[in-house]
Chain A
Amino acid sequence: MTWTCELTEARLSDYLDGLLSPDERHAFDMHVNACEHCVPLVAGVSHLLTDLRSMEQIEPPPQLGTLILNQTIGPRETKKGWRAAFGWLNALASARFAYSAVSLVATVLILLTASGFSFRKAKLADLSPVNIYRTADRQAHRVYARSTKFVSDLRVVYEIQSRLNKDNELPTTPETTMPQSAPGKAPGSTDGTRPATPKQQNRANDIGRELELLATQVPMLGGALSGQLLGRRTP
């Protein structure tokens, strides 16, 4: 590759920045080593680069930042007295803070209500952690007992209904279960034409016994069922 003084000058920065290809770099070196005109040029620029890159950054005047801020966003006022003491309250006057505060208050109210705190008869002692815990524990147990009782009652009613449905011949509605006490009818007769057969009477007695048994097992239903049973057993 033929290298010239013009090429040396034109590609000098590429050479110093390491951007020449190996062939170009070799040709550059060969030319500069043999050229009296190019040696001072290359040496001068390479020394200059060393000097430039060793130059340190200059610290700007300390007041420059303040001057720039004064010119752009204006002089920043320095609050004094009570304004300085309560200046941080300005940050609270925002929609985000108001929303957070409302959410917090609502959460506290819900928790207090759930723990059994009475707002009508509020006492300072009710707010102590021990009392809050005890009240909440009592409330939780009460809710659990009520739900257990409710489920148990439902089960009893379901069992009664299912046992009544077992007998296909007997109607399940209250109107039809009640015996018709018309004059001239024989006991056990439904149409008034013929007296009840012994088989039908025995089945009715079986159901009555089962309901009586249930009434003894469930005291709550005892009163209601016993009345019905008595009415059915005394035709």
Chain B
Amino acid sequence: MLAPGNYGVKLVTVAGFEADDTLEQDAQLVQQCLQGDGSAWEELVRRHTRRIFNICYRFTGNGTEAEDLSQDVFLRVYKTLGSYRSAHGGFATWMTSVTRNLLIDHYRRTKRDRITDSLEDAMPVVENKESVGRRPDQQLLLGELSHQVQTALTKLSPELREAVILRDLQQLEYNEIRQVLDVPEGTVKSRINRGRIELARILQQMGVRPS
């Protein structure tokens, strides 16, 4: 049995992306963009491409879709840049909110395709459980573990998935997630909690963690 208060979790202090200097620099770049400065837009793209691509990839689990969605995100941000108000929050939060809306739209649009795919994917999941039983040492390699977690993530409902991604992979604060999802902070905490529990159960079913 585990000792009280020691469950192997490092209480990492997460910083989010709303550091003061980052906020100021982003706001300045946005102003320059609105004045027609192309190099400022290039700088914004350079600063946020990696983060947006990671959110898209973690949500979809597919590199090609993540690349296409990232382009859609920046295209929409570019077209609606004039509607951004720095008084309502940081640029990164606003951009993440745009990303989240596009991901939900994409999820709804491709729902029918995924139902067909999930029937085809049923067998490989079973094969994974057997393979884990045969070679547990190899399955616990970091790269493989990431792959398993990524696979489990895509099995979560979208509302729980986005909450877990923003909190545990993007390391945002609760108030930042509240702004992105546009829901009360209590709802954010509830979704993160349910998402983590559900994800742990999925991984157990996949045989990644022995019960």
Partner-B contacts on A (CB < 8 A): 9-14, 16-18, 25, 29-30, 32-33, 39-61, 64-65, 67-69, 71-73
Contact = CB atoms under 8 A, between A and B. Distances in A.
A54 B8 CA distance: 13
B149 A49 contact: no
B8 A47 contact: yes
Interface of B: 1-2, 4-5, 7-12, 38, 41-42, 45-46, 49-51, 53-54, 57, 63, 67, 70-71, 74-75, 78, 142, 145-146, 149, 164, 168-169, 171, 189, 192-193, 196-197, 199-201, 203-204, 209, 211
Given A54-B142, A58-B53, 20 more contacts: A13-B189, A13-B196, A16-B9, A30-B4, A33-B4, A41-B200, A42-B7, A43-B8, A44-B211, A48-B200, A53-B10, A60-B50, A60-B53, A60-B70, A65-B49, A67-B71, A68-B75, A69-B42, A72-B74, A72-B78
B208 to A, nearest CB: 9
Contacts of A17: 11
Contacts of B70: 60, 64, 68
A13 B192 contact: yes
B49 A12 contact: no
Given A12-B193, A29-B5, A39-B1, A57 B200 contact: no
A55 B196 contact: no
Contacts of A59: 50
B67 A64 contact: yes
Nearest to B3: A33
A25 B11 CA distance: 15
Contacts of B169: 52, 55
